[in-house]
Structure 1
Amino acid sequence: MQNRPEQPPAPLDGPAVDVSDARELLLGYLAWYREALLRKISGLSDDQLRTPVEPLRWSPLGLVQHLGRVERRWLRWGFAAEDVLAYPPGGDEAEWTVPADTPVGTVITAYRDEVNAASSLIAAAALTDKARVGGRFPTPDQAPSLGRILFHLLQEYARHVGHLDIARELIDGETGE
């Protein structure tokens, strides 16, 4: 006799269960994590968004800012070799700290703008296309494929959205899925 759970298992996150195309899976999961990032900060006050969470030492809004810059570094500077500011002056502190006079909406809009720019680059390329030389990757032998870049980006999101689950629980007791 099989043990059957009393409740059916939760639906899978990401793309539909019948999706098997590698590109569609990769982009579907990336889209899911991008949405999860914003979903997990929903309902936080301005103060909760800005206050660094101990012992993590970063704020939820700082994480959104960081992931927008990660999108820029890997897709615009990395894959497309665009001449963009890859790292803010001030190093890690500037990467993760949102100035008090910067509105929350400005950070969210900047994040969405980077996601939109990255999505446009991705839509116009194959997973096997190599990154252009001249931005993040100075030589052809250092330039990875778009697929490799997207897998890196996906793991970055998975890790940080998991961190955000912990931060949110510490802030207000909300737990993630």
Structure 2
Amino acid sequence: MQQPPEQVPALLDGPAVDVSDVQELLLGYLKWYRAALMRKLDGLSDDQLRMPVEPLGWSPLGLVQHLGWVERRWLRWGFGAQDVVAYPPGGDAEEWTVAADTSTAQVIATYQAEVTAANYLTAPAALRDKARLGGRFTTPDQAPSLGRILFHLLQEYARHVGQLDVARELIDGQTGE
């Protein structure tokens, strides 16, 4: 009787090992980090998702809400120059704190809507394309390229998903990729 093949762990996270196109790499890693964010929430109760983790001071769901605002600021308001509210009226405190009357499903849906809008903006664009003027950037010398914006988003996600690893370990001892 033949033995089933062993599961070999992937050597690299993100896009396939044979991907070398820079745009495909940036967008592929961004997709991977967005999915990693959701994976790291899996198995937490609603209370665990909402409870600020000490000594960090924020909840896992608050981090998701923050990253939704980050997506909006950098891609919709920044790259696309869309007329959107870029910051919540209550500043950082409101951006990181989920209101009691806001459901977990609402926070996740809002985040996913921002990701969908971001994907819609980035799909037809080239990395060298400059951000449109009129949103976050008002002059040509301020406007970064899509490549620069995507690189910024990747470092933002890498940092925050790593912080979520720490939060998750403090909550229930879970660790992982």
- The alignment's TM-score, normalised by the length of structure 1, stands at 0.94
Alpha-carbon distance between aligned partners in 1 of 2:137 and 2:145, rounded to the nearest angstrom: 11
In the other structure, the counterpart of 1:56 is 56
Partner of 2:151: 151
For residue 49 of structure 1, what is the amino acid of its counterpart? L
| Runs (5+) with no aligned partner, structure 1 | 1-7
Matched AA of 1:84: V
Deviations 1:11-65 (A, max 9, x none): 2100011111101111110000000000000110000000000111000000000
User: Do structure 1's residue 175 and structure 2's residue 175 form an aligned pair?
Assistant: yes
- For 1:87, the aligned partner's letter is Y
Shift of 1:127: 0.6
**Residue deviations 1:88-147, cap 9 Å, x none?**
011110010000111100000000000000000000211100001111111110000000
Aligned to 2:18: 18
Matching of residue 120 in structure 1 with residue 142 in structure 2: no
RMSD of aligned C-alpha atoms? 1.2
The residue type equivalent to 1:124 in the other structure is: P
* SS of structure 1 residue aligned to 2:84: coil
In structure 2, distance between residues paired with 1:20 and 1:82: 31
Distance 1:11 1:48 in 2: 32
Q: How far off is 1:176 after superposition?
A: 2.0
Q: CA deviation at 1:9?
A: 6.8
Separation in structure 1 between the aligned mates of residue 24 and residue 125 of structure 2, nearest angstrom: 13
Q: Gaps (5+ residues) in structure 2?
A: 1-7
Alignment map for 1:1-177 (pairs within 5 Å): 10-177=10-177
Task: Kindly report structure 1 stretches of 4+ aligned residues shifted beyond 6 Å.
Answer: none
Amino acid at match of 2:147: G
Q: What SS does the corresponding residue of 1:142 show, helix, strand or coil?
A: coil
